[in-house]
Amino acid sequence: MMKDLECVLYTKEEIDARVKELGEQISRDYAGKDPVFVGILKGSFIFMADLVRAVSIPCSMDFMSVSSYGSGTQTTGAVKIIKDLSRDIEGKDVIMVEDILDTGITLNYLMGYLGNRRPASLRIVTLLNKEARRHKDIHLDVAYTGFHIPDGFVVGYGLDYAEEYRNLPCIGILSSSVYAPDGAEKKE
Ligand code: IMP
Ligand code: MG
């Protein structure tokens, strides 16, 4: 798997240190509350598992599954809910947990979707943020961010390409030769 990476962006140790900081910050900010972490499957499952163990206040967890990508590297623009929350979030402090904020379409949609259920508050924690690709009309200033990353397709630590590479302990940029083997330009 490592040979398919163009480069490693963050090692396991660097990720662990940053996730611990995020957990501590959230524990301070939500002291006295009992937040619900909502993991957006599947990409966030490893990040969520590490993050909640770095949180020292009472909290609960739920999951949603959405699809916007198919198996390629470019978004289709449409967000489909595959699995919804199993509990009501009205009056709760909700923190959505995402692997990566790319165009922002997924989280923007989910902010509206979950916002309609009248949570006491709604924030996002995303491990990675590719700000360069954010759609101009989307303003997500409610996010805790692990790392700001340059454009490029990344895999590892939960992030996949065609369902593979999620189990890489580090995060790296996938070689374009993996998804464009004939050297073709990446499609926009
Ligand atoms: P957005 O709606 O464009 O912000 O896309 C968010 C989702 O796209 C993430 O939750 C990922 O599942 C997927 N995604 C976006 N960029 C990457 C990437 O570089 N590697 C792997 N998945 C990605
Ligand atoms: Mg995802």
Query: What is the mean pLDDT of the segment spanning 4-14?
Result: 97
Separation of alpha carbons 65 and 41, rounded Å: 5
Query: Do residues 125 and 51 touch, judged by C-beta distance below 8 A?
Result: yes
Percent of the chain topping pLDDT 70: 88
Q: Which residues surround ligand 2, an ion (CB under 5 A)?
A: 43, 99
Shortest-distance atom of ligand 1 to CA 106: 2
- Ligand 1 centroid to Cα of residue 32, in Å, is 33
From the candidates 102, 141, 151, 182, give the one annotated as an active-site residue: 102
Q: Does 39 score more than 70 pLDDT?
A: yes
For ligand 2, the distance from its centroid to the CA atom of residue 24, given in whole angstroms, is 23
Q: What's the pTM value of the predicted model, to 2 decimals?
A: 0.91
Q: Which atom of ligand 1 is nearest to the CA of 153?
A: 19
Give the distance (Å) from ligand 2 centre to CA of residue 164: 13
Q: Which residue has the higher pLDDT, 143 or 15?
A: 15
CA proximity to 140, closest of 115, 107, 164: 107
What distance in Å separates the CA atoms of residue 142 and residue 145, rounded to the nearest whole number?
Answer: 10
Per residue in 71-120, pLDDT (tens digit) is 556 666 678 899 999 999 999 999 999 999 988 888 889 999 999 999 99
Residue with tokens 């919804």: 84
Whether 142 shows a pLDDT value over 70: the answer reads: yes
Provide the b/e sequence for 75-113 (b: ≥16 CB within 10 Å): beeebeeeeebeeebeebbbbbbbbbbbbbbbbbbbbee
Higher pLDDT, 181 or 66: 66
Beta strand ranges found along 25-157 (DSSP E) = 36-41, 60-67, 80-83, 93-101, 121-129, 143-148, 154-155
User: Greater confidence, 67 or 183?
Assistant: 67
Kind and range of the H or E run holding 6: strand 5-10
Task: Please tell me the predicted confidence (pLDDT) of residue 70.
Answer: 54
Of 120 and 143, the structure prediction assigns the larger pLDDT to 120
